[in-house]
Amino acid sequence: MSIQVKNLKHIYEKGMPTESVALEGVSFEVEDGELLGIIGHTGSGKSTLLQHLNGLLKPDEGTIVIGGVDITAPGVSMVEIRKRIGLVFQYPEYQLFEETVAKDVAFGPRNLGLADSEIEERVREALELVGLDYEDMKDRSPFELSGGQKRRVAIAGVIAMRPEVLILDEPTAGLDPKAHKDVLKMIEDVHGKTGNITVLVSHNMADIANLSDKVLVIDSGRVVTMGTPEEVFSKRDELSSVGLDLPPITCLTEALRERGFKIRETILSVEDAADEIAEYLKAGGKAEC
Amino acid sequence: MMDSIIKIENLIFEYRKEEEEQPVKAINNISLEVEKGSFTAILGKNGSGKSTLAKNLNGLLLPTGGTVYVNGYNTADEEHIWDVRQSAGMVFQNPDNQLVSAIVEDDVAFGPENLGIEPAEIRRRVDKALEDVNMGPFKGKSPHLLSGGQKQRIAIAGVVAMKPRCIIFDEPTAMLDPKGRKEIMSIIKELHEEGITVVLITHFMDEAVNADRVIIMHQGEIFMDGTPAEVFGQGEKVKSVNLDVPMAVELARALRQRGIEVPEKIIGTEEMVEYLCQYK
């Protein structure tokens, strides 16, 4: 299972005076089991791209091949695409609507026309994958849960479809620090257990740096760069020209390097930074400042 | 003695969930004064009582027990509720829920119009408020065409045009992207420098580092209260109530584990860089 996006172009309101090019010449590949982080500021085309990946939008040019199937080809079954590619929108808890958690999570699988026993099994599996206890949660109203729990229930609703690709659009936006950490951990767990391709869009550079195998940077509807977190976050000037920052810890270690610290370039975690700084200082290293 | 704009005495706020007999104490006996012209950040996880506290500060909620004074007015005194609201303005999380008009300048004028201010003065206030939030060129635009950060700036202008002494920001950047967050934080800093008392409720620790004072709420009570250095210097205590610490505090902890001494007062990135450069 892999994804190949080739030369994607999308124009909004084509032929109208307000016509605007949202994506142009977008090409990239995601390999089996990878976690792809996507960054870009608001209006860069990230959301338009996500909506192409699950067939909500059709490109004006280019192709998207997922697991050998070109989902942009005419006549391709949308139901089939949606079954294989699960998209979790921003603030997905706004879409909770059922009386109980179990019914809400079951909504998607039920629409697939599965047998009751199969539906129950999937609901149980999905709730447990997102870190919620099935017995404890199933009969509760989704509306009496905390913000972080609601979001997990909403994500479970997508996971219960057993998608081969899971796409999450800013899954931690608006959560408090604890819920933020819990949801990130959940994404790692789900990715680890299913081994599926996961696509994560976030404004939080530290999260992107820590979770992603590869990072895709988008600006004005085009791919700016793509690579491992180390590769991408070593391009500070390029990122800054498209309005993106380095992760906070990387900002700090780069500032130290500018002041003469001989430490590794593009450090992405606090623990690595502490190792490098401590080693440098203990070896008698002094800044020339 | 502190020259305070907000004075809270033994505040209790209870609400009753449907069908349940026992009321829930969202605020459990808090006493607090906020100094005129200060910048206070209030932190706490969801359900800690921080938003309930904020809503008690301008009479959107009234105390179950105790008293809240704003600019000398008791918030429970109906006769002065508009004095309270004019003294302490409020900006909420979602800008889309706060904008009421189809044109930016009409939206900003909404508050002053309701105060019965004469049109020429409203004109002056609206222009000044839009300038304060760097949105002057947008006054004839429609708010729905603006970005999240721009909309939030319009919401702030609407409050500024009421000429409040104090503005309470309830997670004003939670729904914004990094660029929008920066815009709003720089506006908040400018308003504070102009003399407005700022109370900022936030989940972002790096925003709290800018404040004069940090209050951490937990289970309806004040859990910590001090300067940012005093509060974040106690990283483990902050984390015990499920909050984060600024990145520099986290790095300080990791460095201490590796035998590098770092004073507790170092909580910001720039201070940390300076300190490490001087390290011997």
Summarize pLDDT for A201-244 with one digit per residue, the tens: 999 999 999 999 999 999 999 999 999 999 999 999 999 999 89
Give CA B266 to chain center in angstroms. 23
- Look at residue B17 and tell me if it is in a domain: yes
The parent domain of residue B174 ranges over: 4-227
Helices A177-194, A147-159: inter-axial angle, 10-degree rounding: 20
Q: For residue B121, give the amino acid letter.
A: E
Cβ atoms within 10 Å, residue A135: 8
Instruction: Flag if A287 and B277 touch (Cβ within 8 Å).
Output: yes
What tens digit of pLDDT does each residue of B58-81 get? 899 999 999 999 999 999 999 999
CATH of domain A3-231: 3.40.50.300
- Please check whether residue B177 touches A, CB under 8 A: yes
Instruction: Flag if B276 and A273 touch (Cβ within 8 Å).
Output: no
Task: Spell out the residues 6+ positions from residue A171 whose beta carbon is closer than 8 angstroms to its own.
Answer: A88, A92, A151, A155, A183, A187, A200, A202
Q: For residue A279, give the amino acid letter.
A: E
Choose the most confident range, by mean pLDDT, from A2-6, A44-48, B174-178: A2-6
For an interface test with B, give the residue of A176, A202, A217, A244 to mutate (most B CBs within 10 A): A176
Cα–Cα dist B147/B177, whole Å = 10
Instruction: Flag if B175 and A173 touch (Cβ within 8 Å).
Output: yes
Beta bridge partners of B263: none
A203 within 8 A of B177, measured Cβ to Cβ: yes
| Residues in chain A within 8 Å Cβ distance of B50 | none
Residue A289: predicted pLDDT = 52
Cα–Cα dist B45/B202, whole Å = 9
Share in percent of chain B as helix, strand, coil (round to 5): 40, 20, 35
| Residues in chain B within 8 Å Cβ distance of A41 | 177-179
Task: Spell out the residues 6+ positions from residue A73 whose beta carbon is closer than 8 angstroms to its own.
Answer: A63
| Residues in chain B within 8 Å Cβ distance of A152 | none
What tens digit of pLDDT does each residue of A49-90 get? 999 998 889 999 999 999 889 999 988 888 888 888 999 998
Query: What does the mean pLDDT of chain A come to?
Result: 92
Instruction: Flag if B242 and A178 touch (Cβ within 8 Å).
Output: yes
- Look at residue B206 and tell me if it is in a domain: yes
Tell me which chain B residue has its CA closest to the CA of residue A201: B177
- Look at residue B268 and tell me if it is in a domain: no
Of the candidates A203, A256, A270, which has its C-beta nearest B276's C-beta? A256
Half-sphere exposure of residue A174: CA atoms within 13 angstroms, side-chain side: 19
Q: Give the CA radius of gyration of chain B.
A: 20
- Look at residue B148 and tell me if it is in a domain: yes
- Look at residue B243 and tell me if it is in a domain: no
Q: How close is the nearest chain B Cα to the Cα of A255, in Å?
A: 7
pLDDT at B174 over 90: no
Burial code (b: 16+ CB inside 10 Å, e: under 16) for B38-60 equals bbbbbbbbbbbbbbbbbbbbbbe
Give the 3-state DSSP-derived string for A111-124, with helices as H, strands as E and coil as C.
HCCCCHHHHHHHHH
Structure-token pair, residue A289: 């400042």
CATH number at residue B71: 3.40.50.300
**What whole-number percentage of chain B has pLDDT above 90?**
73
Q: Calculate the dihedral angle through the C-alpha atoms of A139, A143, A144, A148, rounding to the nearest 10 degrees.
A: 100
Question: Rounded to 5 degrees, what angle do the CA atoms A73, A74, A78 make?
Answer: 85
Instruction: Flag if B179 and A243 touch (Cβ within 8 Å).
Output: yes
Count of structural domains, chain B? 1
Query: For B242-271, what is the mean pLDDT?
Result: 93
Q: How close is the nearest chain A Cα to the Cα of B113, in Å?
A: 33
- Look at residue B36 and tell me if it is in a domain: yes
Residue B2: predicted pLDDT = 77
Q: How close is the nearest chain A Cα to the Cα of B33, in Å?
A: 26
Task: Spell out the residues 6+ positions from residue B183 whose beta carbon is closer than 8 angstroms to its own.
Answer: B134, B149, B150, B152, B153, B176
Residue A187: predicted pLDDT = 94
Cα–Cα dist A20/A14, whole Å = 7
The two beta strands, A214-219 and A222-227, are: antiparallel
- Please check whether residue B243 touches A, CB under 8 A: yes
B166 burial via Cβ count (<10 Å: 0-12, 13-18, 19+):
buried
pLDDT at A287 over 60: no
Q: For residue A180, give the amino acid letter.
A: H
- What confidence category does residue B19 fall into, taking pLDDT thresholds of 50, 70 and 90? low
Q: How far is CA B249 from CA A14, A287, B29, B271, in A?
A: 51, 21, 31, 11
Half-sphere exposure of residue A46: CA atoms within 13 angstroms, side-chain side: 26
Please state the domain extents for chain A: 3-231, 247-289
